[in-house]
Amino acid sequence: MPAILDSPEDIDTWLSPRTFDDKVRALIKSYEGKLECYPVDKGVGKVGNDSKDFIKVSFPFSFPLSI
């Protein structure tokens, strides 16, 4: 599950080297907003790959997506 952080302060708290304290624990919650999902190229999962094509939305696609 990705961390979805709402503010620069939340990002700083999440990335700080502090121990797992109450401020960090408070950031761990279910996201209540709406998310969009898109299929991505298999190359996204390879650390050495870096391409602007990976962030382009490819249409058409249909649900449910096969993984």
The pTM of the full predicted model, rounded to 2 decimals, is: 0.50
Distance linking the first and last C-alpha atoms of the chain? 16
Q: Report domain extents, the chain.
A: 8-55
Specify whether the CB–CB gap between 13 and 27 falls below 8 A.
yes
Residues 51 and 46: their CA atoms lie apart, in Å, by 11
pLDDT tens string for the chain (67 positions)? 678 898 999 999 999 887 788 888 899 888 887 877 777 778 888 889 988 888 777 666 555 555 4
Give, in order, the Cα–Cα distances in Å from 15 to each of 2, 18, 30, 67: 14, 9, 19, 31
